Amino acid sequence: MQERFRTLRLVLTFLFITLIFSSCADEEVTKAGSRFPNVYSSDDSWLISWYVCGSDLESEYGAASADIEELLETELPPNVRVLILAGGTREWQNDMFRSNVGNLYLYDSDGLHQLDTMKNADMGNARTLENFLRYGRENFSADHNVFVFWDHGGGSAAGVCADERTENMLRLNDIHEAFSAVYGANPAEPPFEVVGFDACLMASYETAAALEGYARYMVASEEMEPGNGWNYDAWVGALAANPAMGGAAIGEVICDTYMTGCVEEDTEEEATLSVIDLARLPALRSAYETYSREALARAGSLSPAFFSALDRAAQRAENYGGNTREMGYANMVDLAGLARETTRELPSGAALVQAVDDTCIYKVHGDYRRRGGGISSYYSYDGDEEGFSVYAEQDAALLSQKCLLYCMIYGEMPEEARDILAASPDTGRIGVLPTTRRNIFGMEAFEDRAVDVDRNGNAVVRLSAAEMDILSSIHCNLLYIGAEEDIILYLGSDVNIDADWDRGIFKDNFDGTWPMLDGHPVFIEVVEEGDDYNLYSIPIKLNGMECNLQVTYSYDDGQYYILGARRGLEKNGMSDRNLIRLKPGDRVTTIHYAMTISGDDEDFMPVEVDTFRIGSHPTVADEEVGDGTYGYMFEFLAPAGESALSSVVTFEIGNGEIMTSVE
């Protein structure tokens, strides 16, 4: 964000010097007609091991305590038990647990019993996870096992379970190593029937690969989960009522009851949950390896055109976790969506789409997450080197995919890529990462690109075929320029331009309106561009708390819909589970970015502009910005987070007329 603000400052200085069921319309359950049969005996015994990292979700909201109370509403038979390790928060919102230890409890047909404590248990440390797994194995025998992680999740790089006291978290390597130390992989007879993540962003290929050989099924969400999370009374109660069900049926019940809860809490629009059959992971891995190797071979020439085509596909596919400069980047993409969008460049993508569909045997999703295939993967939307380095260390990630993203970010081919293309095994890590990046996109050529005005008064920029090959997208940026107030107010970016990619002609679509929240102008950023809807993020303060309002725009009816507010990603990459719906009377403060015209400001800085109370029917709508002077720039975006801005177009609005001029 700061880099873009510096660029804006330079440009402006120059200017002034010069769903739950298939019958429901808004939520869908795929493959809803199938019901998985019982595969075990009703007399079989079950142990559910629940790894509850309370974090700030507990200290601020009491969310872990609420889910534990929910579990305690379930009456268990003697053959179903729940082993709980609870820790990782500064303060518990109940009288049972202590915050300075790991609290070991058992819930069974006789109620809740304290078993022991783990001193100084760091829930973000692999050793704590290993000790809990070993404790369960050595002290409780069961015919079948389920394991559930509870907390924040951050995707394939960040991992899961961020201990609020130590600020450590479990990476995928930690999870794999802990399970391996206690059980050892056994693909034919995995020790766990189900491993689940009641956490955000963990339904990835990399997570599944880390658990291969340790579970038959994985249940997790591609997208961020809302605060209501899984319904423990419902799904544990279903297992208690029918211990003969297998892991697929358990996963189905978790999904269905989760989506029911989302509908009840009005948080269903972006909800996702998947059941992944880990026995089918070898076929998925083979298809993903073939796809990644094909992409790596295409990338070998370091052609910007290929990376831009790949990035355009990633922009069109569903992405998860926010992925804006304001919210932060989780860098997770729907794997089937990415493969589907690249089948023209990479024909092997068709087989990968099919493999994802075969492996994700059941899923639920809200209306604004209906295009996903149920399994995500890491993709570097922002080109952040630190985030990529963490991902590159995860052994579950394909080496070919690491090499592909390395080429895109650093502009050179790693030695490991040559080995992969020579048919070496697709595992391992990349060596030492470079300290500098080679510029292969040449975005400096787009800086301050001249803009014309056509006879209809539209701002127009023209690009050659070679220039378009470099770009993944073109956005527009709008600023309010108040000479009397001595301020330049940045209003954000959008994709609302008239784009002709065949002829290389791009025109403004500005009609004097901009998105407003209950009539108040907002700063807005594009999260995802789709054929039928776009997702946006709006920074606000909601009742004094900084967060991002998530909004969708539907092309079907030309309306905006407010989904709710979340805080941005934490510095450790963890996403916020608490989706807050706006309600009448909420106090909202809009946050923009501004600088003075006359001063020596080097960067745009966040400023609070309007404070108001939400009305009875909060709305976001395109409304007239009013008379005044506005600056407009085309923003040219390339892969790995690179971008450049055109010269400034000036819109003078007065008495309903817009006069366009360029320097």
Element (H, E) at 257: helix 247-265
Are residues 61 and 297 in contact, defined by beta-carbon separation less than 8 angstroms?
A: no
For 532-551, how does the pLDDT look when each residue is reduced to its tens digit (9 = 90+)?
Answer: 999 999 999 999 999 999 99
40-279 placed in CATH 3.40.50:
yes
CA 484 to CA 597: how far, in whole Å? 10
Are residues 403 and 421 in contact, defined by beta-carbon separation less than 8 angstroms?
A: no
Helix (H, G, I), strand (E, B) or coil at 165: coil
Quick check: 344 pLDDT over 90? yes
**Number of other residues whose CB lies within 10 A of the CB of residue 411:** 18
For 356-369, how does the pLDDT look when each residue is reduced to its tens digit (9 = 90+)?
Answer: 999 999 999 999 99
Q: Return the percentage of the chain with pLDDT > 90, whole number.
A: 87
Q: How confident is the model at residue 8 (pLDDT cuts 50, 70, 90)?
A: low
pLDDT of residue 426: 87
pLDDT of residue 473: 95
Quote the tokens at residue 238. Answer: 């279903």
pLDDT of residue 4: 52
Are residues 521 and 609 in contact, defined by beta-carbon separation less than 8 angstroms?
A: yes
Quick check: 1 pLDDT over 70? no
Handedness of CA 20, 26, 30, 34 (dihedral sign): positive
Q: Which residue has the higher pLDDT, 95 or 4?
A: 95
For 491-509, how does the pLDDT look when each residue is reduced to its tens digit (9 = 90+)?
Answer: 999 999 999 999 999 999 9
- Average pLDDT score over residue span 390-419: 96
Average pLDDT score, the chain: 93
CA 162 to CA 124: how far, in whole Å? 5
Q: How confident is the model at residue 18 (pLDDT cuts 50, 70, 90)?
A: very low
pLDDT of residue 328: 83
Quote the tokens at residue 634. Answer: 């085309």
pLDDT of residue 19: 33
CA 266 to CA 140: how far, in whole Å? 39
- Average pLDDT score over residue span 414-435: 91
pLDDT of residue 425: 85
Quick check: 163 pLDDT over 60? yes
Point out the least confidently predicted range of 8-22, 158-172, 277-291, 388-402.
8-22
Q: Kindly list the domain boundaries of the chain, sorted by start residue.
A: 2-17+442-662, 40-279, 284-421
CA 320 to CA 335: how far, in whole Å? 11
For 209-250, how does the pLDDT look when each residue is reduced to its tens digit (9 = 90+)?
Answer: 999 999 999 999 999 999 899 999 999 999 999 999 999 999
Q: Calculate ∠ Cα 191-197-201, nearest 5°.
A: 135
Helix (H, G, I), strand (E, B) or coil at 87: strand
